[in-house]
Amino acid sequence: MFAPARPVPPRAAPPARPRPGRLACGERRRRAETELRETLARRLAFWCGKMDLRYHKLRIKDQSTRWASCSKKGNLNFNWRLLWAPPEVLDYVIVHELCHLVEMNHSKRYWAQVAVWCPDYKKHRKWLRVHGRDLGRGARPGPGSAGHALDVDRDLHLVAQQGAAGV
């Protein structure tokens, strides 16, 4: 009888049951993803119509270092935690990604395009840097934040009014 060339690893224990808090967190994330997908679909329809752009696919992800991204194929990925961002910040993130459909970089020309559609973009970028880490963690993210799901229809109405007024 020969000994195995390598030690045989011990039999793996069955996976531990998730703790109740972790399970609730997973369910919270799934609900947030569903709600954010509906919110983004409406807001993207609004902004794509206004900017005369089209995207390919919308995905909600758990991105650890990005709020959103845009692929060369026109796929838009958004971080699920954006559900708790203030409406104007979410609009900035959407405009930011849609501008990548025209300019796939962060050149001066790109930022000029963002500024056309979102003149206060620097303020919203700063808000994300300061308060973004709190989004989706149960804490109210900070001043100017809804701190909860967005009232999309009201917000779209306000944005449409601003657009009609030339703001």
- pLDDT, tens digit, for every residue of 68-97? 999 999 999 999 889 889 999 999 999 999
Q: What is the mean pLDDT of the chain?
A: 77
Q: Please state which of the ranges 17-21, 102-106, 123-127 shows the lowest mean pLDDT.
A: 17-21
pLDDT digits (tens, 9 = 90+) for 15-65: 554 444 444 567 777 888 888 999 999 999 999 999 999 999 999 988 778
Say whether domain 21-160 belongs to CATH 3.30.2010.10.
yes
**Separation between Cα atoms, residue 133 and residue 127, nearest integer Å:** 10
Task: Give the CA distances from residue 34 to residues 30, 132, 134, 152, in Å, rounded to whole numbers and listed in that order.
Answer: 6, 20, 20, 14
The answer to whether 65 and 91 are in contact (CB under 8 A) is no
User: What backbone torsions phi and psi does residue 68 show, to the nearest 5 degrees?
Assistant: -165, 170
